Chain A
Amino acid sequence: MSGKKVLVLGVGAQGSAAAKKLDQEPNVEKIICADRDPVAVESLVKTLKKAVGTTVDAHSKDSIVEAAQGVDLILNGLPLECTKNVLDAALEVKANYQDYAATNSLHEDWVESIRIQYDVYGPKFAEIGKLALVGTGSAPGLICAATRDAMRYLDSCETIYNIVWEGVEAKRFLPFWWSPVTALFDMSEKAYAFENGKLIRTEAFELPITRNYGDDGAEVTFVEHSHDEPVHYSFNAEKYFKGAKNAYFKYAGAGVDFAKPLYRAGLLSREPETIDGVEVTPFNLVLKHIPPAPKYKEEIKQIIDEGLVTDSGCMVIEAYGKKDGKDVMVETHVNAPGLVESYELAGITAEMYLTGQGGFLFSKLFLNDKYDQTGLISSDMISMEQVDTYFEYAKELGITLETVVKEL
């Protein structure tokens, strides 16, 4: 590809961050920003040099096809339920495809939906000679590339932990730095873990582990969190993760501390209750009362100016296995800017920065023709050469890996 045309679908936090980065890339000739909200599209487009705007109804494949004519890459920043339409549209216009998280739109069972992506859509993209790359934000995405990187230090792998601590906490009431619905859903849903070679469901907020990743080595407790990574790794354990038998996603942060007691008090239940003759779902009532994640520059500045309780966090990969016959643990820390630094660098939150940049780096591999695969892959299936290139690009954005191998 040269002089690439990219369709950015959805101009929310992910889409707009991606569009801004793409606009600075020499290999990008044109960006089409598309959303159902023309005002949001217009306000983004006027800040970019190479962008045009259009409106789409993502619940209609034909509407997406119309917007996607002639593009090289469709970047899907839409809600997960729209993924099927976008995948089908990409196939129809013969474009490459990239998204941020595994969809549940192909089957009522999420794991089956992911399997369908691989087994049904994979061959279809291969047939047209294009690549669909799924799960490419920060987690999944950046963390998957870092997990692949950790594999180079092992001969065989037994267990993988992907560990994320969202330690940014504002003085004002702001429990979540990304979509509250996604956050609360991921926290209160039974999670998936890959254990003894099988995918199992784990209870929300359970199976705690503690690590001294806090400020000055303070102990942080991480709990189960419904996320894509263990599911992807379960599919790809043999080929990409040195035969790993176990994989867990563990999460901590102010959001967990906020949501856990609500969950225990029954307030994150998705079972409808009848109150004064009205059917209400507790989850929805809670959601209605949660402030949205900050998105705009002025808003973020105001939060920083009001003061932060903490501006910490970590993304860590622990991979346990054997090297030269010895039991070892590979501990990889992903170093990335916190809130204040992200704001200073890009006028956005740490969450937006890491997701936006993590995703953009996968796009950049597209723009620079670094993918030789066709079909459908998840971000944990990129080659070691692609991992190297990814982190070379990442360095320029202040995202680095720090790895130690500890003999056990």
Chain B
Amino acid sequence: MKLMVVGCGGVGESIIKIMKERDPEVQWLQKVVMADYDLAKAQRLEQELSDDRFLAEQVDASSREALVALIKKHEIDFVMDAALPFLTNTIFDAALEGGANYSNMGVWTVPQDEPNCYGIGKECFREFMADYNFDRNEAWEKKEQLAIIGLGIEPGTIDVFAKFAADYLFDELHTIDIKDGANMEEPGGGEDDVAFGFNVWTVLDECMNPNITWYKDKGYVCAEPFAGEEIFEFPDGIGPVKLYQIEHEETVFMPKELEDRGLKRVSYKIGLDDNLVHALKAVKALGLRSMEPVEMNGAMVSPRDLVAKVAPQPDEIDENVFGKTCGGVLCEGIKDGLQRKIFLYQTTDQQESVERFGTQAVVAQTGFGAAIGIELVGRGIWSGCGVKTPECFDSVPYMKLMQEAGFPFGMVEYDSEYKADKDRRELEKLFETL
């Protein structure tokens, strides 16, 4: 595989480092072009990795022509998009034009500037989640190229979990509720500190766009930002976390691929720190999320660009933070005729992540989600053509590779008819041996 990673920020760097760790013997990874607008950033990484396969390049990812030229120059066969969300469609198009396969970790959506049409349907959006990509499926199929959209942790690993649950843990999968939460703490940090925890652009988009829950009987239901507040108890010592609905791809991807498994609802909720919620609400109230330029000092400036620039960046808050972050699918349905409820999840420890990759847990998690998918394509295990989501592929090799790569998953089996029956049978089996 000749890979080009576009964007060498936190997640891009994380992917690149995992790729190096995963194929030290050059079995399937021949070249990695690390392309960033800031060449010095890519060059620092090149120096750090000290491996001839990893090359730094400068690229303006808003220019399709520049991206295509780079793809052709290095004969790239796979483009991994780790750039800012608003660049994703350009990179997607460039990969198609340049003849490479492609993957991203999230899609670009455009809500109405003042959505006042919350409720059922897509009216809150000028450009609905992933429509841009799915609408071009035919072109990708025609050129026999593969685009896997949403291949990070969420979407990505989480979609693989849903597929696995549908294939192996349930006969009928009725609801998938995605839960993402953490218990990060910074000893000595101010109790009012605002931490975005992820790319500020992405946080602004996901938290302040209308969020979507999918219902079989209603379709997409769009709610206002910060709806659906609830407390969810996470495993692995994380404990209770306050969650809110945010806009996320899974609520579109999962129904598309898994509706025929009996699906009735897909929701997405994430833990947001109170300080961040207050900050985002203030940003929203002021209209600073907007990309529409406003006049400042005689020139036009996009408010969101300024927010993204001055807000505390995730790579500034790594080393002193302790805790774990967890993402998983809470699934309910029927197995062997009995009602069942499970939580299939992945937890990453902050300090382990900093030590291993020099990035914070959620960034490494996202990088891992992508790297494992890329490796499966690189090794020819996942293949095909057209615009796909992770649910479209076999979940087993992905999950096996997770364990092998030190990115383990876990499962909680909740009280249910199925669990009671399983426990009873296990006890009976035990007593037979006594």
Chain A positions within 8 Å of B, measured between CB atoms, are 173, 175, 205, 257-262, 264-267, 269, 273, 275-280, 282, 284-286, 288-290
Contact = CB atoms under 8 A, between A and B. Distances in A.
Given A264-B279, A273-B306, A289-B287, A278 B194 contact: no
B139 interface: no
Given A265-B194, A266-B310, A267-B288, A284 B296 contact: yes
Given A273-B309, A276-B301, A280-B297, 5 more contacts: A262-B283, A265-B307, A265-B312, A282-B306, A285-B301
Contact of A280 (B193, B278, B301): B301
A257 B283 contact: no
A278 B275 contact: no
Contacts, number: 83
Contact of A289 (B192, B288, B312): B288
B301 A261 contact: no
Nearest to A290: B286
A286 B285 CA distance: 11
Interface string B186-211: 00001011100000000000000000
Given A284-B296, A288-B296, A266 B311 contact: yes
Contacts of B285: 173, 175, 258
Contact of A275 (B190, B192, B287, B301): B301
B291 to A, nearest CB: 12
Interface in B176-194: 190, 192-194
A264 B306 contact: no
B281 to A, nearest CB: 8
22 contacts: A173-B285, A205-B192, A261-B194, A261-B276, A265-B283, A265-B307, A265-B310, A265-B312, A267-B306, A267-B310, A273-B306, A278-B296, A278-B297, A278-B300, A278-B301, A279-B297, A280-B297, A282-B306, A282-B310, A284-B296, A289-B286, A289-B288
A292 B398 CA distance: 55
Nearest to B307: A267
A285 to B, nearest CB: 6
Given A264-B192, A273-B306, A275-B301, A285 B288 contact: yes
Contacts of A262: 279, 282-283
Nearest to B305: A275
B190 to A, nearest CB: 8
Nearest to B287: A289
Contacts of A285: 288, 294, 296, 301, 303, 306
A260 B278 CA distance: 9
B299 interface: yes
A282 B308 CA distance: 11
A99 B140 CA distance: 72
A264 B312 CA distance: 9
A173 B282 CA distance: 10
A265 B275 CA distance: 9
A172 to B, nearest CB: 10
A289 B312 CA distance: 21
B172 to A, nearest CB: 44
B372 to A, nearest CB: 33
B304 to A, nearest CB: 10
A233 to B, nearest CB: 28
Contacts of B278: 257, 260-261
A205 B190 CA distance: 11
Contact of A261 (B279, B303, B306): B279
Contacts of B276: 261
Contacts of A289: 286-288, 303
A172 B281 CA distance: 13
A3 to B, nearest CB: 50
